[in-house]
Structure formats: structure tokens, C-alpha cells
Amino acid sequence: MDSISRIDGEDAQALAAAALQRAAAIMAKLRAPGGCPWDREQTFDTIKRHTLEETYEVFDAIERRAWPDLKDELGDLLLQVLFYAQMASEAGYFDLRDVAENLSAKLIRRHPHVFPDKDRPATIAADSSAVLRNWERIKLQEKESAKQSKPAPSSLLDDVPRSMPATLEAAKLGSKAAKVGFDWPSADGLFDKLAEETIELRAEINRADADKIEAEFGDLLFTMMNLARHLKVDAESALRRTNAKFRARFSSMERVSGGAAQLQAMSAEDLERLWSEAKIETEIVETKD
């Protein structure tokens, strides 16, 4: 029975490898001369936004226990990996094989209880907690080893990872800078700064410079994150709360009007009236809750 299971497992791995190879070949063709114009135009910076979106869609499918949807969303997430690997290969940085081999090496290093060798003696994993502690210990050792080959941090801000969500990174950066006194004395000054950044954004909108519009919009968001920090507000939680409120109010508009198609045919004045009514309705519900 064990031999049959092993053969079935090997067949499954071979099929998975073949499917992944085919997907990688399709991506290479899409990016090649004569391929898809849109795919050929993409860069690391234009794709990264989609990566975040696809990650959240995977989370959503899991929370809904929607397994067919999860299969599709995992495919979309895999597409991001194939996209980055293909672009990196074209630039001569690394390729998909390097990504997979790097991952395999990491998994082997961090599971000595499963993959022992002369440099990593076998360990006994009593339970999942022990495995996690060992994983973190090995991860820390790897980081310490990597630090030795890198120059010492030259900035107070070097401890803030670039990998964290932008809203959290902005809050951390502001908090770090505040430790040396580089901060607004109170939230009042930030309201003035918001007004200043809004004026600068409007100026760039009038000039129609897309790059500078993005830069000024970023400055406005950064100021908002610092305001949230001063007010001791969790920006992510606050925005999610507002998103939920918008969903409820818009759904109320759809219900009252008879659907999205009816909304589309309405005037701006009628839409504003429905929105005001929806605000009152949802506020009553929130009060009751």
C-alpha cells in the first residue's frame, strides 16, 4: 500500500511540475515579442498593486470557505509569481527555478527535524509549538548571519521594514522620527499640513503631471497617517469601518431604487437624495446595534 501511495504521490508531483512549467512557458510567450501588448508593458511597479489585491482575494475566498473560488484566486496569485520571475529573468536578476530552489533550501534549513544532515543534526519536534520555536530560532540565526555581510544600519528608520503595509510603515516612520523630536507638537499642526498638501495636489492636478500627482497624493496620505498616530486612531481599522459603512449605505440605495441599473439612470440630485436617506437609515440601525 505504501509503494502505491508513493507512486501516486510521485505522479501527482510530476503532473504539478508539468502544469507549472506550462504556465511559465505561457507567461514567457505573453512577454515575448509578438506577445500580449499589455503584458509586455508591465513592470515590477505596475504589477505590485495587483499582487496585494490578489492576496486579499485569497483571504476572502478562505474566509467564505469558497473552495472553487480559492482555486481560481490561488491561480491568480501564482500568476503574480510567474510575472515577477519572468521580468526578473529578462533583466538577468534570477528566474523561476532560482525562486523555487531558494524556497526549497529554506524549507530544508528550517525543518531539521525532517531533513537532518551533518551540519544540522536531527531534532525531535514534540509538537507544533516546538517546530515554530525552532523555525524562529533558525530564522533569527539566518538574519544575524546576513547582517554580518551588510553594512551597519546608518539610519534610525532602517529598523522599519519596507515590506509592511504602507499605512503601517508610515505610522512607524513617523513614530521613529518623533523619538528624536522630529514631529508635530500636536494634531493641530497636522490639519494645517493637510491643507498645504491639498493645495499642492490640486496644483499638480492642474498641471496634469501623473508622476507628480502620485507624489503629492502620497504626501497627503502620509500626513493623514501621522494625524491618525497623533489621534491614536488605527488607520486600517478606521478605513475598514468606513468601507463597511459605505457598503451598507450603497446597498440601501440599491434596494430602495430597485437595483444598480436603476441607480445608473438617475440624476446626480436623485442619487444624492438617496444617499442622504441611506445615511439616516444606516445611522438608525447602528444606534440600535
Residues 183, 252: one domain?
Answer: no
pLDDT at 6 over 80: no
Torsion of CA 181, 225, 54, 103, to 10 degrees: 10
Nearest-5° Cα angle at 35, 30 to 40: 70
Residue 83 sits in a domain whose CATH number is 1.10.287.1080
pLDDT score of 289: 47
CA distance linking residue 171 with residue 231, whole number of Å: 12
pLDDT at residue 241 in the model: 86
pLDDT for the residue numbered 27: 97
Residues 256 and 178 in one domain: no
The reply to whether 12 and 82 lie within a common domain is yes
Residue for cell digits 493641530? 188
Residue span of the structural domain in which 17 resides = 2-109
Which of the listed ranges 149-163, 164-178, 209-223, 272-286 does the model predict with the highest average pLDDT?
209-223
Same domain, yes or no: 95 and 7:
yes
Residues 186 and 251 both lie in one domain: no
Domain shared by 252 and 170, yes or no: no
Q: How confident is the model at residue 127 (pLDDT cuts 50, 70, 90)?
A: confident
Whether residue 17 is contained in a domain is answered as yes
Which of 236, 234, 242 is CA-nearest to residue 282?
A: 242
When divided into structural domains, the chain yields a total of 3
Residue 153 lies in a domain: no
The model carries a pTM of: 0.57
Residue 155 has pLDDT above 90, yes or no: no
Lowest mean pLDDT of 18-32, 101-115, 188-202, name the range. Answer: 101-115
Asked if 39 and 98 sit in the same domain, the reply is yes
The answer on 16 and 102 residing in a single domain is yes
C-alpha cell at 77: 496569485
Q: Within this chain, do residues 243 and 224 fall inside the same structural domain, yes or no? A: no
Q: Mean pLDDT, the chain, as a whole number?
A: 86
Residue 88 lies inside a defined structural domain of this protein: yes
Mean pLDDT of 202-207: 96
Query: What band does 45 get if pLDDT is binned at 50, 70 and 90?
Result: very high
277 and 199 in one domain? no
Residues 13 and 93 occupy one common structural domain: yes
Which amino acid makes up residue 274?
L
In a domain, 133, yes or no: no
Decide if 75 is inside a domain: yes
Cβ(89)–Cβ(103) below 8 Å: no
- Please count the residues of the chain: 289
Shared-domain flag, residues 36 and 55? yes
Q: What is the pLDDT of residue 3?
A: 45
| DSSP symbols for 21-87 | HHHHHHHHHHHSTTS-HHHHH--HHHHHHHHHHHHHHHHHHHHTT-HHHHHHHHHHHHHHHHHHHHH
pLDDT digits (tens, 9 = 90+) for 78-109: 999 999 999 999 999 999 999 999 999 988 88
Taking residues 127-131, report their average pLDDT: 75
* Best-predicted range by mean pLDDT (72-81, 124-133, 255-264): 72-81
In a domain, 149, yes or no: no
Residue-wise pLDDT for 224-281, tens only, equals 999 999 999 988 888 888 988 998 999 999 998 888 888 889 999 999 999 999 988 8
Query: Among 109, 143, 175, where does a domain finish?
Result: 109
- Burial class of residue 254 (count of CB atoms within 10 Å of its CB; 0-12, 13-18, 19+): middle
The pLDDT value recorded for residue 149 is 64
How remote is the C-alpha of 116 from its chain's centroid? 34
Instruction: Classify residue 220 by burial, with Cβ atoms within 10 Å: 0-12, 13-18, 19+.
Output: middle
> If you write DSSP's letter for every residue of 206-252 in order, what string do you get?
HHT-HHHHHHHHHHHHHHHHHHHHHTT--HHHHHHHHHHHHHHHHHH
